[in-house]
A and B are shown apart, each in its own frame.
Chain A
Amino acid sequence: GENVEQHPSTLSVQEGDSAVIKCTYSDSASNYFPWYKQELGKRPQLIIDIRSNVGEKKDQRIAVTLNKTAKHFSLHITETQPEDSAVYFCAASMGGGYNKLIFGAGTRLAVHP
């Protein structure tokens, strides 16, 4: 079946460093790629998304890149802060027009002061 692979599963950085999380997807019809942040005990919340007609999107310290040919997309967080510590999930839409998302397994990011 369709799947999304996410790496790394855990990531530890020092405050101020950059963090990069990578995902690959299998469904060539995928055209929407959101990233969610989930803090401990909370719901997943969208932090940024990218659509298939765009190669890169940036929002302050967060950026996402998409390579449709290679079927991979990445999340980049610059100047990390302790409050960035959370689990991050990538997702890719599936075909069918109902916005079904396939989620990656998540990356636990720890930012150390």
Chain B
Amino acid sequence: DAGVIQSPRHEVTEMGQEVTLRCKPISGHNSLFWYRQTMMRGLELLIYFNNNVPIDDSGMPEDRFSAKMPNASFSTLKIQPSEPRDSAVYFCASTHTTGQETQYFGPGTRLLVL
């Protein structure tokens, strides 16, 4: 069974450009989480979905960030326009919401905004 899949693995872009990160959760998982990891702020939860519905987006830093989950097997995190301070590793994780279940992380997207 494939784990969580993220693309791209690395992204280098210039300030002001739009960035789209993609995630495919583990098949059968119905909760999906987007995290951002930096040295300064650690692992931050940005937003999470349950059954494709956004439940809590209080971690989204500002309006430049948006996330969608059009179906159970795909989610996107978009930054528009990007800024250098958005440089980080972005992880997607998925789990079942049937109880106390483990979150499984994808390999992450390393984003560098110049």
Binding site for B on A (CB under 8 A): 31-32, 34, 36, 42-46, 49, 51, 89, 93, 96-103, 105-106
Contact = CB atoms under 8 A, between A and B. Distances in A.
Contact of A43 (B55, B91, B97, B102): B91
Contacts of B55: 96, 98, 100
Given A44-B91, A89-B43, A93-B100, A100 B48 contact: yes
Interface stretch (B17-25, B66-74, B103-111): B103-111
B108 A43 contact: yes
B102 A34 contact: yes
Contact of A101 (B50, B96, B103, B107): B103
Interface of B is mostly: strand
B50 A46 contact: no
Contacts of B42: 103, 105-106
B101 interface: yes
Interface in B75-106: 91, 95-97, 100-106
Nearest to B101: A99
A42 B107 CA distance: 7
Most chain-A CB neighbours within 10 Å: which of B42, B97, B100, B105? B100
Interface in B11-51: 31, 33, 42-43, 45, 48, 50
B56 interface: yes
Most chain-B CB neighbours within 10 Å: which of A31, A49, A51, A101? A101
Contacts of A89: 43
Given A89-B43, A105-B42, A106-B42, A99 B91 contact: no
A56 B95 CA distance: 24
